[in-house]
């Protein structure tokens, strides 16, 4: 009975921690999903160890390919990984709560908020900061994603198509995925412990 109560409390604490952590990320992330990456790496990977950098990149890739906002999708994936469906829901709610509160306050009290000179000057500074955050995210993603000449080839091809053609980004994602399947070397899945033990037993029986 005591163990079950401890388990429930630890589960509740984990869910609350998920909500508060992503509320903090949502409140301090300005500039959209890509600007969120450095904050995620610091909070989720370095401080809490909830995911590795490779996993964060995978979540970003999936979030880019699925409908919705990439930052929200990534929050959902991480929350689900830590605590199932309820964890995904609470992580998502935590991320969007600060934005909802701030936008509601601005809309309620200040009809012409963006027309104030001080706000316009602040936005100019914020835009410059956002560019730096996005560039930082691109450089970190590039170090992890461009691991061999095949990845570089896909990167260059997509970059050229994005710069010089009017094609949809959705098509780029699909074609890059197909190119990855075709170009990347096939890796044999690692054997489980039971499979290794079975192979060892077979070899002993043969000998």
Q: What is the pLDDT along the chain (207 residues), one digit of tens a residue?
A: 545 554 555 667 888 899 999 998 888 776 666 667 777 878 888 888 888 877 887 887 777 777 777 778 888 888 998 888 999 999 999 998 988 888 888 777 766 666 778 877 887 888 888 788 778 777 777 777 788 888 889 889 988 998 898 888 778 888 888 888 888 776 655 554 555 555 555 555 555
Cβ neighbours of 141 (radius 10 Å): 17
Do 131 and 56 sit in the same domain of this protein? yes
CA distance linking residue 47 with residue 44, whole number of Å: 6
Do 133 and 48 sit in the same domain of this protein? yes
Do 150 and 58 sit in the same domain of this protein? no
Radius of gyration of the CA atoms of the chain, in A: 22
Do 69 and 91 sit in the same domain of this protein? yes
Domain-embedded: residue 191:
no
Q: Which domain holds residue 180?
A: 146-185
CA distance linking residue 97 with residue 29, whole number of Å: 12
Domain-embedded: residue 152:
yes
Do 99 and 156 sit in the same domain of this protein? no
Eight-state DSSP code of residue 45 = I
Number of domains in the chain: 2
Do 20 and 108 sit in the same domain of this protein? yes
Do 135 and 165 sit in the same domain of this protein? no
Q: In whole angstroms, how far apart are CA 70 and each of 74, 103, 185, 198?
A: 6, 19, 28, 43
Cα-Cα-Cα-Cα torsion 60, 65, 69, 71, nearest 10 degrees, comes to 0
Do 27 and 128 sit in the same domain of this protein? yes
Do 174 and 113 sit in the same domain of this protein? no
pTM score, whole prediction: 0.60
CA distance linking residue 147 with residue 156, whole number of Å: 14
Domain-embedded: residue 192:
no
């Amino acid at each position: 009975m005591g163990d079950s109560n401890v388990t429930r409390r630890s589960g509740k604490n984990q869910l609350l921690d998920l909500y508060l952590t992503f509320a903090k990320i949502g409140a301090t992330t300005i500039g959209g999903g890509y600007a969120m990456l450095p904050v995620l790496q610091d909070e989720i990977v370095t401080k809490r160890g909830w995911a590795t950098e490779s996993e964060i990149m995978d979540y970003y890739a999936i979030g880019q390919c699925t409908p919705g906002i990439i930052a929200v999708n990534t929050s959902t994936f991480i929350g689900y990984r830590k605590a199932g469906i309820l964890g995904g829901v609470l992580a998502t709610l935590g991320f969007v709560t600060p934005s909802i509160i701030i936008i509601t306050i601005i809309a309620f009290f200040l009809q012409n908020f963006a027309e104030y000179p001080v706000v316009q000057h602040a936005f100019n500074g914020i835009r410059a900061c956002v560019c730096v955050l996005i560039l930082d995210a691109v450089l970190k993603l590039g170090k992890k994603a461009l691991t061999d000449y095949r990845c570089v080839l896909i990167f260059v091809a997509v970059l050229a198509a994005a710069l010089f053609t009017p094609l949809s980004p959705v098509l780029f994602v699909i074609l890059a995925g197909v190119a990855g399947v075709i170009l990347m070397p096939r890796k044999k899945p690692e054997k489980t412990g039971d499979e290794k033990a079975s192979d060892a037993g077979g070899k002993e029986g043969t000998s």
